[in-house]
Amino acid sequence: MVTRGKVVRVRIALLLAPALICVCSSAATSQSSGDLAAIKRFIKNQEAKHSGRAYEDYQSVVTGDLNHDGVNDAAVLYTMEALDSNNYVQYLTVFIRRSGHLVPVASEEVGGKNYRTADLRLIRNGLIFFDTLDYKDTDASCCPSIKGQTRYSLVGRKLKEVERPLKDR
Ligand SMILES: [Ca+2]
């Protein structure tokens, strides 16, 4: 009977383990200095690549598991302003955690002047959620006004915009 009790307890512990990991990963919203340094380094390189400037005031980071390995990854939204014009583009870059370090794996344009404004909200169920503002015909370039939402998922090494089911709209 004692042996049977032990087996049961071990099984319960195994069942609980994934739940505990989920709680930990959703609660871990702060980023370590190493993570932030990796993100900063990446964005600095993008500034050179795009001949632009990405102001820290227009950057946001959310964490959550994006490749379904139970380990928190990071999604970063940053706005690249062109140095030679007043154009700007919003980029989403996903960093996957490998051996404890954040590694950039995919980037996508998710907003920008005369396209839409995207506001990074959170990661849930492997999806990256945004609030958006789209342009109606009479909106000025500065001020899109149609409120919406969208989601992105990491598929391989690409980011794909996911249409929401009609019932959720
Ligand atoms: Ca992960």
How many residues are recorded in the chain? 169
Torsional class of 70: left (φ above 0), alpha (ψ -120 to 50), beta (otherwise): left
More confident: 141 or 19: 141
Cβ atoms of 117 and 90 within 8 Å: the answer is yes
Ligand 1 centroid to residue 2 C-alpha, Å: 39
Ligand 1 centroid to residue 78 C-alpha, Å: 21
Predicted local distance difference test score (pLDDT) of residue 56: 87
DSSP track, 107-133: EEEEEETTTEEEEEEEEETTEEEEEEE
pLDDT at position 39 over 50: yes
Q: Which residues contact 127 (CB under 8 A, 6 or more apart)?
A: 151, 152, 153, 162
Ligand 1 centroid to residue 113 C-alpha, Å: 32
Cβ atoms of 92 and 152 within 8 Å: the answer is yes
CA nearest to 42, candidates 95, 111, 96, 121? 95
Backbone torsions φ then ψ of 41, nearest 5 degrees? -60, -45
Predicted local distance difference test score (pLDDT) of residue 14: 41
pLDDT at position 23 over 80: no
Ligand 1 centroid to residue 68 C-alpha, Å: 5
Q: How far apart are CA 163 and CA 156, in angstroms?
A: 18
43-85 pLDDT, tens digit each: 999 999 999 999 888 899 999 999 999 999 999 999 999 999 9
- The band of 163, judged by pLDDT with boundaries at 50, 70 and 90, is confident
Q: Which residues contact 76 (CB under 8 A, 6 or more apart)?
A: 39, 42, 43, 59, 60, 61, 92, 93, 94, 95, 120
Backbone torsions φ then ψ of 7, nearest 5 degrees? -60, -45
CA distances from 152 to 10, 17, 76, 97 (A): 38, 28, 12, 18
Q: How far apart are CA 149 and CA 132, in angstroms?
A: 5
Ligand 1 centroid to residue 116 C-alpha, Å: 29
pLDDT at position 17 over 50: no
pLDDT at position 120 over 90: yes
